[in-house]
Chains A and B, each alone.
Chain A
């Protein structure tokens, strides 16, 4: 081997060593930066990932280090420089090596080469190579260790490498699903003042809207993703467990958890905070009065499922007539309930202070608010009671017309007079002849008959034609209401009418003593009717009967309708649920996991469209998870959608042919 060949060999070895060392240092620098940045970010921002630009920066720094080191070893590119380095390392060569290279064909070349052969050039070279390589290798090992400590994703840990390596590497990857055992903690909104509850392995979570839902499971969060509907939810690791947290949405939605090829769906079933309920117990009914001089006692009771905040009464005063109406609203001061679930309101209203005029109406209602500070407050209103001041010109109410005696009163006076006449006749009965008795009894009977007819008119005038559906079969004829209707709706007048019948009959056959008891019964019944509660009866609107045959198709113009579009089926949502349910059930024997997934997603939509169907599906899904028989829940689900099968009694009729 010539001297030049020896130096070239050394040059190649040291060149390789230089490049390897440069790459090693570059890698070490890159890993070191990643590891340190990951640790620093974790310390400063708990369990957060390092920003993406740090990875790029680390890579650039590493490449820069490689380039700088290669530049530093640029002298290895010259063979003479390498030869001089060897001469420097082995002084005994006394420049024989460089001389041999420069004067390769000299007559002393053999001697020089022999002298060179005696020196340990390989040993020097190997030591130099080791000095270049070993620190770089050590640096790579240290940086790798740091990276490991910093929980790099490449080692199935969260860290800076999570950006670079999305798939956990073989040995550190958990073997099974990290979703098989999950725990859910539900923390209701603060206004409920309730503590958190824990659920183990639920398929569905029911909670108030706005509750904080925290789902945790075994293992770190890397590779575990969560979707609420179509929204990705970031997970994090804490104490060796993955955590996904989200607020309970307002509508049912599926929380889809994924871990590599594994998937689990949890139904988030929101429960709306019910608005409070309030009942106005006093005043108990609407009233019409002539003069607005009344102090009204007001009382209401309110309840709520979470808690009540406040309540008050509202008076709406409406004035006006014809086409001009005005209204003003007055509210009483708030009564605080301080979060209790039940409360009462009470107060008084002096109508005199409202300066009401004829025709004015005061509408009173009670209102209550709950403590819902998240999506509320929920507001409850009671039924409305109205106090109306009658107009002077109103004649549609027996209560407001005190001046003229109403017809019922005049009937009652006549009846009393007739009883007195009959009693006198009974006294005179023994003194007078039969024809005289028959004549006087007949006269009283005629008058009694007029009373009876008047009562009949009142009875049918009050009851007839107030409202109702025209019976197409009856056409335009006014059919008299049945007696049963009157017996129920106006029993006193009806009883008087019946008694008067009996009295008239007895008087007409000259039996006044027999007539007296029913006459007294009639008087009492008329008195009761006269003293009964006065009710304001709105005027019956004029009844206009359209002559359909006359006006049929006699319009001045014809319509020109646009093309009609098909209607959507009123029950299209249920039909869609039924179709998807059928598909899922058909898939069940072949692919149970897929079917359960479909049923779970179906349940999310069914929660609002058909709660009974959703409840049955929930039972079925639970049965699948537990490995028990799901036939009955599935049957209930089908019936919730399609109804109970209809069966007809008896055999179908024979068609007469075979």
Chain B
């Protein structure tokens, strides 16, 4: 069995690289809490490349307009059809922000309209348990962006499986720090990231 490689998707339209240390942080967490064989560094793969199909989980983020080119759209559709999962996080933490608006529009156009994900979904209990649904981020609690604490994530489902997970909670800011700094936290705030990875690999 090959090891898990955390994949950041590179898209043409915006700042896909706005959370550069998040992949390393989640890789660290996956290795720290699970026995999943994990590559020490993530991969950055253009969505327009068919190499994207080699990764079970693709992470996308940004602040700026989010639009797929035709090649990108074709590949991400193939990816989810083949059982892959895409995690899109709004780095603006703003439902009225340009990333959220354009990303939701693009997701609806490409995969179908995303709906609120119930907080009882297995993604909240597949490794760590989050009884109240998605954990709040410091950006939410400090009133950044839209000044909202989002109760739910959004998702495009196929049957009982999440194909595309969309977050306005700005985990890209929350988890974007060097993993060595994790030791200063009383509670590791990247635990939900572990759930996302475990869910993508087991569902």
Contact = CB atoms under 8 A, between A and B. Distances in A.
A256 B29 CA distance: 57
A333 B27 CA distance: 49
Contacts of A644: none
A538 interface: yes
A559 B39 contact: no
Nearest to B68: A383
B33 A545 contact: no
Contacts of A559: 33-34, 127-128, 191, 194, 198
Interface stretch (A28-36, A55-63, A103-111, A469-477): A469-477
B107 interface: no
Contact of A560 (B46, B102, B129, B159): B129
B135 interface: no
A326 B92 CA distance: 10
A590 interface: no
Given A325-B98, A468-B44, A544 B202 contact: no
A565 B144 CA distance: 38
B147 interface: no
Contacts of A562: 122, 125-126, 129
Contacts of B194: 559
Interface string B39-56: 111111110000100100
Nearest to B17: A541
A327 interface: yes
Give the interface SS of chain A, mostly helix, strand, loop or mixed: loop
B178 interface: yes
Interface stretch (A12-20, A92-100, A549-557): A549-557
Contacts of A430: none
Contacts of B29: 555
A567 B162 CA distance: 12
A232 B118 CA distance: 36
A51 B93 CA distance: 62
A318 B98 contact: yes
Given A544-B179, A555-B188, A470 B64 contact: no
A552 B93 CA distance: 32
A365 B31 contact: no
Contact of A546 (B20, B31, B94, B159): B31
A323 B142 CA distance: 13
A548 B38 contact: yes
A556 B39 CA distance: 21
Nearest to A568: B159
Contact of B41 (A318, A326, A546, A556): A546
B114 interface: no
Contacts of A546: 24, 27-28, 31, 38, 40-41, 179
Nearest to A379: B109
Nearest to A316: B65
A355 interface: no
Given A470-B5, A568-B159, A554 B32 contact: yes
Contact of A568 (B67, B160, B188): B160
Contacts of B41: 470, 543-546
B144 A323 contact: yes
B65 to A, nearest CB: 5
B33 A555 contact: yes
A539 to B, nearest CB: 8
Interface string A157-187: 0000000000000000000000000000000
Interface in A339-379: 361, 363, 365
A127 interface: no
Contacts of A325: 63-64, 92, 94, 97-99
B13 A386 contact: yes
Contacts, number: 149
Nearest to A565: B122
B173 interface: yes
Interface string A287-325: 000000000000000000000000000001010100101
Contact of B203 (A467, A468, A555, A567): A567
B92 A323 contact: yes
Interface residues of B, number: 69
B10 A551 contact: no
Contact of A469 (B24, B45, B92): B45
Given A469-B5, A551-B179, A554-B32, A561 B44 contact: no
Nearest to B10: A467
Contacts of B23: 544
B15 to A, nearest CB: 8
A533 B16 CA distance: 23
B109 to A, nearest CB: 8
Contacts of B65: 316, 318, 327, 361, 363, 384, 386
Nearest to B55: A469
A421 B94 CA distance: 63
A564 interface: yes
A383 B70 contact: yes
A552 B34 CA distance: 8
A538 B64 CA distance: 14
A468 B43 contact: yes
A362 to B, nearest CB: 10
A369 to B, nearest CB: 14
Contacts of A469: 5, 43, 45, 51, 54
Contact of A316 (B32, B38, B98): B98
B194 to A, nearest CB: 7
A547 interface: yes
A547 B125 contact: no
Contacts of A1: none
B38 A470 contact: no
A564 B40 contact: no
Nearest to A325: B63
A560 B195 CA distance: 11
B21 interface: yes
B83 interface: yes
B32 A560 contact: no
B98 to A, nearest CB: 4
A492 B54 CA distance: 33
A476 B41 CA distance: 9
A470 B44 contact: no
Contact of A558 (B33, B44, B64, B70): B33
B69 interface: yes
A123 to B, nearest CB: 91
A379 to B, nearest CB: 9
B74 interface: no
A570 interface: yes
A476 B122 CA distance: 35
A365 B83 CA distance: 31
A476 to B, nearest CB: 7
B40 A476 contact: yes
A561 B34 CA distance: 11
B161 interface: yes
B17 to A, nearest CB: 5
A472 B2 CA distance: 9
A551 B31 contact: yes
A327 B97 contact: yes
A643 interface: no
Nearest to B179: A546
Q: Which 10 A-B pairs have the closest CB atoms?
A: A541-B20, A544-B24, A327-B98, A559-B127, A555-B32, A555-B33, A562-B125, A469-B43, A467-B44, A470-B41
19 contacts: A286-B12, A316-B102, A325-B63, A325-B92, A325-B98, A326-B98, A384-B12, A468-B43, A470-B43, A472-B3, A539-B17, A541-B44, A542-B20, A548-B38, A551-B28, A560-B129, A561-B198, A570-B82, A570-B83
Given A323-B144, A384-B65, A472-B39, 17 more contacts: A325-B94, A325-B98, A327-B101, A365-B67, A383-B69, A384-B67, A386-B65, A467-B45, A469-B5, A546-B24, A555-B32, A561-B125, A561-B126, A561-B127, A562-B126, A562-B129, A565-B122
